[in-house]
Each structure stands twice: as C-alpha cells, then as structure tokens.
C-alpha cells in the first residue's frame, strides 16, 4: 500500500515549504559566492521557530559563545541575531582531518509574520542555545470608517 501525504499550501504549510526552499537555495549559493563580494564569510547558525497560543519562540544554536558576543535586535517584525564566535582551534594547524564548525561573524534575520509585542521580548542563553521569546498580540480589528456625504 502506498501512502500519500498531501500538503496544505493554503497557509502556514506553504510558508514552511517556502522557508525550506530558501534555506536550500541559500546553502547552495552561499558557497558559490565569490570572495570579491564577501571577503569575510558570514555564517548562519541553525534556527528553530515555534509558535504557541501566547508567543513565538526562536531558538538559535550558537554553542561556544560568550553571551556578550551576541546581539539581538527586533525592529519592524524583523528579528536580527548576530555576533562573533572566536576560533578556538590551535593557531599552528599542521594537518586538518576534519573541520565543520563555523567561526567568525554570523548573522540571521528572521521575519515574524504575525502581530507581536516587541517591547516585552526576552532572551535567555543556556547550554549553547539562545532562546528568544516574543509575546503575541491580538491582530488589529478591521475598522470601517464612514465617509461623510457631500452636501
């Protein structure tokens, strides 16, 4: 028996597909970018975004960081996480067998597409994960304004 999973593209599932496609394309083209345009590579830490009834939770994996080297800003529903992770590897690298950990500058920008209360946003850094909690607000109600008739 063959099982088929249908994806609802009418709403949030479509956003998820779009985000996965953007991530895939970013990962392909990031390494192809010539160093002329970006002499210093900026890496992107992995990010998970969850939504509950009351809040949006953004979890960023930034292990090996000092909390003072991480900046978080939220403006116009754009959440920007940036910083610098120092390179802890030995300065006299004679022979590298494997190197997968990114070092140097990093940046992630996430658009929060729902009404949020940016004034009450909080962040916590624990065990290599930055957890940003953003309270949701009720969507603004549609208001109909009557226009006066010409007299």
* pLDDT per residue rounded down to tens, the chain (151 residues): 555 544 444 455 555 677 777 766 666 655 544 444 445 688 999 999 999 999 999 999 999 888 899 999 999 999 999 999 988 777 776 787 888 888 899 999 999 999 999 999 999 999 999 999 999 998 777 778 888 877 6
- Rounded to two decimals, what is the model's pTM? 0.67
The verdict on 67 and 53 lying in the same domain is yes
Can you give the three-state secondary structure of 86-110, one letter per residue? Answer: CCCCCCCCCCCCCCCCCCEEEEEEE
The verdict on 67 and 25 lying in the same domain is no
The verdict on 113 and 82 lying in the same domain is yes
Tell me if residue 17 falls in helix, strand or coil: helix
pLDDT at 37: 46
Q: Could you tell me the CATH number of the domain that includes residue 135?
A: 2.60.40.790
The verdict on 82 and 19 lying in the same domain is no
Give 84's contacts (C-beta < 8 A, 6+ positions apart): 69, 104, 105, 106
Number of domains in the chain: 2
Given the DSSP bridges, would you call strands 122-126 and 129-135 parallel, antiparallel or unpaired?
Answer: antiparallel
Cα first-last separation, the chain: 72
Q: 95 lies in a domain?
A: no
Tokens coding 12: 């949030």
pLDDT at 98: 84
Q: 58 lies in a domain?
A: yes
Q: 115 lies in a domain?
A: yes
Give 66's contacts (C-beta < 8 A, 6+ positions apart): none
The verdict on 49 and 115 lying in the same domain is yes
Q: Which domain holds residue 73?
A: 42-87+104-139
pLDDT at 9: 46
Q: 94 lies in a domain?
A: no
Q: 116 lies in a domain?
A: yes
The verdict on 59 and 108 lying in the same domain is yes
The verdict on 46 and 34 lying in the same domain is no
DSSP string, 98-144: ------EEEEEEEE--S-B-GGG-EEEEETTEEEEEEEB-PPPPP--
């Amino acid at each position: 028996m063959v099982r088929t999973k249908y994806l609802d593209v009418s709403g949030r599932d479509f956003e998820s597909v779009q985000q996965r496609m953007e991530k895939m394309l970013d990962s392909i083209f990031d390494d192809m970018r010539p160093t002329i345009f970006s002499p210093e590579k900026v890496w992107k830490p992995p990010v998970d975004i969850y939504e509950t009834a009351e809040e949006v939770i953004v979890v960023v994996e930034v292990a090996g960081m000092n909390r003072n080297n991480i900046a978080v800003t939220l403006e116009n529903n754009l959440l920007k996480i940036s910083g610098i992770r120092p390179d802890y590897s030995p300065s006299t690298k004679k022979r590298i067998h494997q190197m997968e950990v990114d070092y140097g500058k990093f940046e992630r920008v996430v658009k929060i597409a729902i009404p949020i209360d940016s004034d009450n946003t909080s962040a916590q850094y624990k065990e290599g994960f930055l957890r940003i909690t953003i309270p949701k607000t009720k969507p603004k109600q549609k208001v109909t304004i009557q226009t006066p008739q010409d007299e």
